[in-house]
Amino acid sequence: MKINLLSLLFLLFCAFSRAQLHTGLKVYKEFDNSRTFDTIASSPMHKRPVKIDLFYPSTEQISRFPLMYGTFLNMYSERMDYNISADSAVKVSNDLAKMFAEYLKLDDPDQFIKYRTGVFADLKMPVKKYPLIIYAAGMNGSSWENIVLFDSLCRAGYVVASVSSVGLFPGFMSTAPDITEQLKDILFTKEKITALPFVDRTRIGLLSWSLGGTATSKAAMLSNDFKCILSYDGTEIHYYGIDTSWDKICDEMKKLEPSNASAIKIPYMYIGSDRKNADKMDNIFDHISSKDKFFVKITNAIHEDFSSIVTIANDIKPTREDADPTKTDNIWNLTKAFFDKYLKGKSSNVDELIDRLN
């Protein structure tokens, strides 16, 4: 039987599409009944809300478009109130998109909102077990921070559980005690997600950006279930003299229990921005017990380089003045090499990548 070239190419495409991994999303709107949130006992939100955005690898054949970035911006408001109106959520996401566009010098906020991610809602769940990475968001952050990263990790064979950053009621993180609630959110998420049949509870890593770094470092002090920890420009390392108000808050966060950094014995990597004009650095690596600890500074990097808002901006407008995709590439390559080594036990080029950057 003869098969023409076009038919053969179509068959090969279908086979490739079925074989490759795609990123699925399932949103868990949970309550931690051991904690309260709203001070009004009759409120439906009286119990602590813990919104978990679960990103997972799926072999389902795709016949639809992936979610737009605006979908994740709309979901942002739900981290504090699961019953928020759609109109209110859209207003907040439009304000966020406008702020991102102005800061990153894009022509139109709609470019952010309509940007197609690589994530699909409710794809078929995996059958085989995958390592789990729990992601802790930055101050008042959510999954919109690192969508491109989550997609890349899932397609590399990881499950990612993203935990929003809410803190104490009314839910806007601004004080040191908010960190304690984020820490408990991480531990709650670990118990909830490791119960899923496709999650390997013996291989759990921690990942964070900004303020989430303090929460994940404290989680590693409390639980032996985590196998490694990676921090993007996290607040667990503080540079004094740049912002005096933050100097005080970071001192308070460091004293919050658990505070014994020597309890951290797992591999630890910190990838930081290029801080200037600092008087001194409070380095967690001076205190932890881990033999495998890596500190990497990305030259000329700013705090936002560790988020997908910069990655997306570079994709939308690669000619913009501050676009530099090599920084994102370096961060991603280090991230994958680190987790491949300590969660998958693969031969890794972590040291080689660090030497190259240095």
* Helices 325-343, 350-357: crossing angle, 10 deg rounding: 150
Task: Name the residue among 355, 309, 341, 297 with its Cα closest to residue 105.
Answer: 309
CATH of 20-333, one of 3.40.50.300, 2.40.10.10, 3.40.50.1820, 3.40.50.720: 3.40.50.1820
Distant-in-sequence, close-in-space partners of 133: CB < 8 Å, separation ≥ 6: 153, 158, 159, 160, 161, 204, 205, 206, 207, 339, 343
User: Do 66 and 118 contact (CB within 8 A), yes or no?
Assistant: yes
Domain spans of the chain, in order of start: 20-333
Question: pLDDT tens for residues 167-207?
Answer: 888 888 888 999 999 999 999 999 999 999 999 999 999 99
User: Do 249 and 172 contact (CB within 8 A), yes or no?
Assistant: no
The angle formed by the CA atoms of residues 137, 188 and 155, to the nearest 5 degrees, is 55
Ranges 1-10, 152-161, 312-321, most confident: 152-161
Residue 204 has which token pair? 């759990």
Residue 274 has which token pair? 């290029």
The confidence score (pLDDT) of residue 5 equals 52
For residue 235, CA distances in Å to 67, 208, 216, 224 come to 31, 10, 10, 22
The angle formed by the CA atoms of residues 296, 161 and 301, to the nearest 5 degrees, is 25
pLDDT category of residue 13 using cuts at 50, 70 and 90: very low
Question: pLDDT tens for residues 23-42?
Answer: 999 999 999 999 988 766 55
- Whole-number Å distance between alpha carbons of 169 and 321: 40
- Whole-number Å distance between alpha carbons of 212 and 284: 15
Distance of CA 31 to the CA centre of its chain: 21
